[in-house]
Amino acid sequence: MTAVVRSVAALGRRIKAGFIGSSMRQQRAFSAFPAVQQGHDDNSGRHCDYPNTTKPTISLKAYREKYNALEKGARLRDGEEEIVVGRVGAKREAGKKLVFFDVLGGNDEVADRLQVIASPGDDFEGEFQQAVRPLRRGDIVSVRGFAGSSQKGETSIIARDVELLAPCMSELPLPNSLLDKETRYRKRSLDLIVNSKTRAIFLQRAKVIDFIREYLKKRDFLEVETPILTTAAGGAAARPFQTKAWAYNDTELSMRIAPELFLKELIVGGYERVFEIGKQFRNEGVDSNHNPEFTTVEFYQAYANYRDLITMAEEIIRGAVNVVSDSPILSVYAKGGREVEIDFSQPFQKLDFLSSIEEKAGTKIPEVCISKEKDWRDFVKSLGVSEVEELPLGHLLDEAFSVLVEPGLIQPTFVLDHPRLLSPLARWKTGAPHLSERFEFYFAGMELINAYSELNDPAEQKLRFDEQAAERDAEGRGGKAAGVMEQSYCDSLQHGMPPTGGFGLGIDRLVMLITGQSQIRDVLLFPLMLNDLKEAGSGGDGGGENKDL
**420 phi, psi to nearest 5 deg:** -60, -30
Q: Do 114 and 121 contact (CB within 8 A), yes or no?
A: no
Q: Which pLDDT tens digits describe the chain residue by residue (549 residues)?
A: 444 445 445 445 444 433 443 332 333 233 333 333 334 445 555 656 788 888 999 999 999 999 999 999 999 999 999 999 999 999 999 888 899 999 999 988 888 999 999 999 878 888 888 889 899 999 999 999 999 999 999 999 999 999 999 999 989 999 888 889 889 999 999 999 999 999 999 999 999 999 999 999 999 999 999 999 988 777 677 788 999 999 988 899 989 999 999 999 999 999 999 999 999 999 988 888 889 999 999 999 999 999 999 999 999 999 999 999 999 999 999 988 899 999 999 999 999 998 998 888 887 776 645 555 666 677 777 776 666 666 666 677 788 888 889 999 999 999 999 988 888 889 999 888 889 999 999 999 999 999 999 999 999 888 888 877 776 666 655 544 455 667 888 889 999 999 999 999 999 999 999 999 999 999 999 998 876 444 444 443 333 344 444
Orientation of helix 507-514 relative to helix 306-324, angle to 10°: 50
Instruction: Check the CA dihedral 225-228-234-239 and report its sign.
Output: positive
Cβ pair 438, 305 in contact under 8 A: no
Q: What are the b/e assignments for 513-536, b being 16+ CB within 10 Å? A: bbbbbbbbbbbbeebeeeeeeeee
Instruction: Specify the pLDDT at position 399.
Output: 81
- For residue 466, the model assigns a pLDDT of 83
For 45, which DSSP code? -
Classify each residue of 141-174 as buried b or exposed e, where b means 16 or more C-beta atoms within 10 Å of its C-beta: bbbbbbbbbbeeebbbbbbbbbbbbebbeeebee
Q: Which domains does the chain have, with CATH numbers?
A: 46-166 (2.40.50.140), 193-348+411-522 (3.30.930.10)
Alpha carbon separation from 314 to 225, 296, 365, 414, 514 (Å, rounded): 25, 17, 30, 10, 14
What single letter denotes the amino acid at residue 292? P
Which neighbouring-strand residues pair with 343?
Answer: 329
Position 40, amino acid: H
What's this model's pTM, rounded to 2 decimal places? 0.84
Query: Residues 344, 317: contact at Cβ < 8 Å?
Result: yes
Kindly provide the residue ranges of all beta strands, DSSP E only, lying in 136-292, ordered along the sequence: 140-149, 155-166, 222-223, 229-230, 242-245, 251-255, 273-281
C-alpha torsion 327→329→332→334, nearest 10: 160
SS3 at position 352: strand
**C-alpha span between 214 and 168 (Å, rounded):** 39
